[in-house]
Structure 1
């Protein structure tokens, strides 16, 4: 069973393909709890997540859906992290999940700009980036 945790789901989808899922009806679908860890300057390391129950202290819990865009998540992070509100702030998003050996891995999946100019990966949604319920989200604010 641990073998399946790493599997091909962690590879980024091929470029040029549309989403492999339908939009979520947010009126009828219960949101998921997303554990978000923020850090200024860089991402947390794999070692920061090595011991269950001793994850980094800068955690925010967000209720959202698998079709949430990185822009939506950027706006939510800006509400709780003052550093993310700076005009020139860049946010880098990474999924944190256990590999096939049970060790947590931090994998970058996209970037946004705080002010929304330049777009970057704003329109990417969690599901098409390979997010699975139970993954954490690590956000580096630069």
Structure 2
């Protein structure tokens, strides 16, 4: 985390909405309705790694994890609207696409997260350890900006408890797929389709709420809330923004 600190001293964090589900990922069409799935609002930076995201989730809402939490896999996906579906004038719900970010396993290579024995959220977060993937590539070191994250995108987290025999649950099948119809993504799933998106897509993700004239990919990110450190956001919970 120390390696990311210098650029963060000069940049305000933004609000990231993380949706969570036990046992599986959300379907893309679940984000095209007004009744969105349960979520957490967290302040972070584009250089946030999956390790840090797992730390924040565990610290903010430890009750989401089994007790003991060792061996729990947290898998992450990027959720974003298909740019072409947002450009139409029909005011229908946009199609959403997903991109796998990777996963971390609590307690892999370390003491893990003992929720019952934790004194505070900071201590809980310090005991989450990343999993090392085949070939020495560690998903936990992957960053949001490295995955072409744009401010306003959602992150979906699948919480996968250990299997009945104690083994770590397998990583979900990786793919890129569009929703809600489940058809193929436009432009072969490319993210560089022009203008970036604002912090909101309108109520429940409808395209007519998208502000026009926002910043474009490659320009400086819009200023976020003036927060000195990453942590919990306001109005966290099921419907909070």
TM-score, L = length of structure 1: 0.76
Partner Cα separation in structure 1 for residue 28 and residue 54 of structure 2: 22
Supply the RMSD in Å over aligned alpha carbons.
Answer: 1.9
Partner Cα separation in structure 2 for residue 106 and residue 81 of structure 1: 26
Correspondent of 1:113 among 76, 101, 105? 105
Shift >6 Å, 4+ stretches: none
State the SS of the aligned residue for 1:67: coil
Q: Which residue number in structure 2 is paired with residue 31 of structure 1? A: 13
State the SS of the aligned residue for 2:30: helix
Correspondent of 1:42 among 24, 28, 35? 24
State the SS of the aligned residue for 1:134: coil
Q: What aligned pairs does 1:1-142 form with structure 2 within 5 A after superposition?
A: 25-51=7-33, 53-56=34-37, 58-79=38-59, 80-84=61-65, 86-99=69-82, 100-101=84-85, 102-115=94-107, 116=129, 118-120=131-133, 121-142=139-160
Partner Cα separation in structure 2 for residue 105 and residue 82 of structure 1: 29
Q: Which has the larger radius of gyration?
A: 2
Higher strand share: 1
Aligned length: 119
Gaps of 5+ in 2: 86-93, 108-128, 134-138, 161-241
Deviation, structure 1 residue 83: 3.9
